[in-house]
Structure 1
Amino acid sequence: MDVLLLVIGFMCVILGIFGSFLPVLPGPSVSWVGLALLYFTNAVPANYWILGIALLITIVISVLDYVIPAKGTKRFGGSSYGIWGTNIGLIVGILAPIPFGFIIGPFVGALIGELFFDSKDHKRALKAAAGSFIGLLASSFMKFVICVMYLGLFLTIVWQYKSELF
Structure 2
Amino acid sequence: MDILYWSIIIIMFLVAFIGLIYPIIPSVVFIILGFVLYGFLFNFSDLTLLFWIVELVLAIILFVADYFTNMIGIKKYGGSKAAVWGSTIGLLIGPFIIPLLGIVIGPFIGAIIAELIVHKKGFIESIKVGIGSLIGFISGVFAKGLVQLIMVGFFIFTIV
TM-score surpassing 0.5?
A: yes
The 1:122–1:9 alpha-carbon spacing in structure 2 relative to 1, beyond 3 Å, is same
**In structure 1, distance between residues paired with 2:28 and 2:102:** 20
Instruction: Give the drift of 1:108.
Output: 0.1
**Match of 1:144?**
145
Residue 97 (structure 2) pairs with residue 77 (structure 1): no
**Match of 2:61?**
60
Q: How does 1:126-141 map to 2 (within 5 A)?
A: 126-141=127-142
**Match of 1:156?**
157
Q: Which amino acid aligns with 2:19?
A: G
Q: Which amino acid aligns with 2:26?
A: P
Tell me if the contact between 1:38 and 1:44 (Cα under 8 Å) persists in the aligned partners: no
Tell me if the contact between 1:17 and 1:144 (Cα under 8 Å) persists in the aligned partners: yes
The 1:89–1:3 alpha-carbon spacing in structure 2 relative to 1, beyond 3 Å, is same
Instruction: Give the drift of 1:10.
Output: 2.2
The 1:90–1:67 alpha-carbon spacing in structure 2 relative to 1, beyond 3 Å, is farther
**Match of 1:25?**
25
TM-score by length of 2: 0.80
Q: How many residues of Structure 1 are paired with residues of Structure 2 in the alignment?
A: 158
Aligned Cα RMSD in Å? Answer: 2.5
**CA offsets per residue over residues 92-115 of structure 1, 9 Å max, x none?**
225535333232111001111222
Work out the percentage of aligned pairs sharing the same amino acid.
29
TM-score by length of 1: 0.78
The 1:137–1:99 alpha-carbon spacing in structure 2 relative to 1, beyond 3 Å, is same
- Unmatched 5+ residue regions in structure 2? none
